Amino acid sequence: MTIHDILIWGGAALTALGLAGIVWCITAVGRAKRQRQDDAAMRATMQRVVAVNMGALAASMLGLMAVVLGIMLR
């Protein structure tokens, strides 16, 4: 296994982790909407979800960049 393979598979794992975070964000918002929370509780939930969503998008982006870099260097 070369460094390029590690870069590709590590990037794929990071992308999958980011995708799982995005799916969690979708389910968390759907759960909050079904509970019909008041405005303050919904705002607190959304603030937490937005922070996780940004981290998940960043992880997914970095993972995809690693995969592309590994493929280009191969």
**What was the pLDDT predicted at 36?**
87
Instruction: Give me 29's structure tokens.
Output: 């918002």
Residues 6+ apart with CB under 8 A from 30: none
Q: Give mean pLDDT in consecutive 10-residue pieces for the chain, a chain of 74 residues.
A: 94 98 96 90 94 97 97 92
**What was the pLDDT predicted at 22?**
97
Instruction: Give me 51's structure tokens.
Output: 């922070």
**What was the pLDDT predicted at 69?**
96
pTM of the prediction? 0.86
**What was the pLDDT predicted at 19?**
97
**What was the pLDDT predicted at 65?**
97
